Amino acid sequence: MSRPNIVVLGAGYGGIMTTVRLQKELKANDANITLVNKNDYHYQTTWLHEISAGTLHHDRARIPIGDLIDFNRVNFIQDTVLSIDPEGQRVQLEEGELTYDYLVIGLGFETATFGIEGLLEHAHSITNINSSRLIREEIESNFAKYNNEPEERDDLLTIVVGGAGFTGIEFLGEIANRVPELCEEYDIPREKVRIINVEAGPTALAGFDPELVEYAMNRLEEKGVEFRISTMIKKVTEDGIVVEKDDEQEMIPSRNVVWAAGVTGNSIVGESGFEVNRNKVPVREDLRAPEYDNVFVVGDCAVLMNPETERPYPPTAQIAIQMAELTARNLKQVVHGNNELEPFEFDNKGTVASLGNTDAIGVIFGDRKLFGRSASIMKKVIDNRYLLKLGGVGLFLKKGKLDMYH
């Protein structure tokens, strides 16, 4: 009997953790494992706000695939996925084609623009390593330009962040810390710089405890962030953004528009014949696609209801990792001929949003609220725990956040 082919698409949190676990738990004769990824590295999506702000170098947040995967056990293909044919059990790549017996889709998120005119062309999104270091460079470049212009151009020094969700708030925390450094570097008076957050919903950090939200907003306001809550972005142009509140429109001149709102699943999934909602597959409890017993979906391309809250699980790293761990266990059952699959059960380890390097807010143990220094340390503990899980002590020492107390 031939060994089944397991193909994993994507090396984000879901894909890489599935592969690392399969490599560990399956014997060489159990299955052929193939991992496909666009880049030869895995990266920490939850650290991209730091790269974007320029407070962390992107090499700190990425890990060569070869440091995580044993190429004697796993066939790694660096290529871009173009489409999936679940009927034919094939994956079309830019440079070739793959067939599979079992497929794990971990292709991650795309930016949702909500139809806002000019957003894709004129705003930058915190999406991946490439887009994040471009945000860093564009902001630096605009600050460098300021003292070369014959007139005072405030648009160069105005940073607009669209969205006050998790990523938006974390980016605000970093960029507020970075601005004084940028001012020093480019001889700009701090008071010339504006950091404006625009949030369409009625609150920042929707879903968080109001006391935590208030703390976060106060701390960011102290660092100079201006919040525009219940305010819509109507349009983004080369020169700035048009916002609307209470039927009144305003143009905010800005060359630094960062979009940190709304994500959807990967459009490849939406275009490959799966039943989807915003490119996300509404998976069964065992994370398989409704129509295909041999297709698992993990991370941001999957959507699953949380029976406790009766709302879908949010697209977080923590959930992607737990989905991956479950999928590796279930695939082990399947290749051993056992078709009783384990359902997904979320083990909530808490949620912490950073507000810069030494400040944060969060909830752990279900209802314990954390603020400031202690929340910031917890955030680093969570990040380090992931590295230990993924690559052991070696990886933790190499890429971990070891400056926990400052």
Which residues bind to a second copy, rule: CB under 8 A?
Answer: 130-131, 133-134, 136-138, 140-141, 144-145, 147-148, 186-187
118: number of Cβ within 10 Å: 17
CB 178, min distance to a second copy, A: 15
Based on CB atoms, which residue is closest to a second copy, 182 or 328? 182
* SS3 of residue 161 by DSSP: strand
Q: Does 152 qualify as catalytic in the annotation? A: no
Helical ranges in 160-226 per DSSP H: 166-186, 210-222
CB 142, min distance to a second copy, A: 9
Based on CB atoms, which residue is closest to a second copy, 2 or 130? 130
Rounded to whole angstroms, how far apart are CA atoms 168 and 205?
Answer: 9
Based on CB atoms, which residue is closest to a second copy, 40 or 342? 40
Based on CB atoms, which residue is closest to a second copy, 154 or 209? 154
* SS3 of residue 299 by DSSP: helix
Based on CB atoms, which residue is closest to a second copy, 59 or 211? 59
CB 98, min distance to a second copy, A: 23
Based on CB atoms, which residue is closest to a second copy, 62 or 399? 62
List the structure tokens of 213: 């939200």
CB 133, min distance to a second copy, A: 5
CB 377, min distance to a second copy, A: 31
Asked if residues 366 and 376 have their Cβ atoms less than 8 Å apart, the reply is no
Q: Which residues pair with 232 in a beta bridge?
A: 244
CA 391 to chain centre: 20
CB 131, min distance to a second copy, A: 6
Asked if residues 295 and 86 have their Cβ atoms less than 8 Å apart, the reply is yes
The residues, ordered by sequence, that sit 6+ positions from 188 with a Cβ below 8 Å of its Cβ are 143, 146, 147, 157, 182
Work out the burial of residue 210: count CB atoms within 10 Å of its CB; fewer than 13 is exposed, 13-18 middle, 19 or more buried. Answer: exposed
H-helix or E-strand spanning residue 242: strand 240-245
Per 3-state DSSP, what percentage of the chain is helix, strand, and coil (rounded to 5)? 35, 25, 35
Torsions phi, psi of 339, nearest 5? -100, 10
Q: Which amino acid is at 104?
A: V
Residue of 95, 110, 117, 170 with catalytic role:
170
Question: Which of the residues are catalytic?
Answer: 170
